[in-house]
Amino acid sequence: MPYITFQEMSMVKITLDEESIDAIVQYIKTHKQEVRDVIKIIGEEALSVIKEKHMLKEGAELYREIQRAINYTYENDE
């Protein structure tokens, strides 16, 4: 039976233990809900990472705009 172990935050080790592809397919067919749950968790985590990168980019752009506005204000006041 295949199993998944989480060794580190970003590394997943999948071990097949001499199982054939047919046995893995059969396992997936007989454990549909567990497979769906794993896929759902992976999908949610992937979306979280994408959203996080997007938010960091938006925050950096906003910071640059604020910095430019501050610099412009001080340059014109002098």
Residues 26-54: b if buried by 16+ CB within 10 A, e if exposed = eeeeeeeeeeeeeeeeeeeeeeeeeeeee
pLDDT in the model for residue 12: 59
Domain, as residue range, for 67? 44-78
Q: Is the pLDDT of residue 27 over 80?
A: yes
Q: Is the pLDDT of residue 28 over 80?
A: yes
Instruction: Tell me whether residue 5 is in a domain.
Output: no
How far, in Å, are 36, 41, 43, 66, 67 from residue 29 at the CA level?
11, 19, 20, 55, 56
Instruction: Tell me whether residue 17 is in a domain.
Output: no
Sequential DSSP letters for 23-59: HHHHHHHHTHHHHHHHHHHHHHHHHHHHHHHHHHHHH
pLDDT in the model for residue 14: 66
pLDDT in the model for residue 71: 83
Instruction: Tell me whether residue 66 is in a domain.
Output: yes
Segment 20-26 mean pLDDT: 79
pLDDT in the model for residue 53: 85
Q: Based on the structure, what is the number of domains in the chain?
A: 1
Q: How does pLDDT run across 44-73, given as a tens digit for each residue? A: 888 888 888 888 888 889 999 988 888 877
Instruction: Tell me whether residue 9 is in a domain.
Output: no
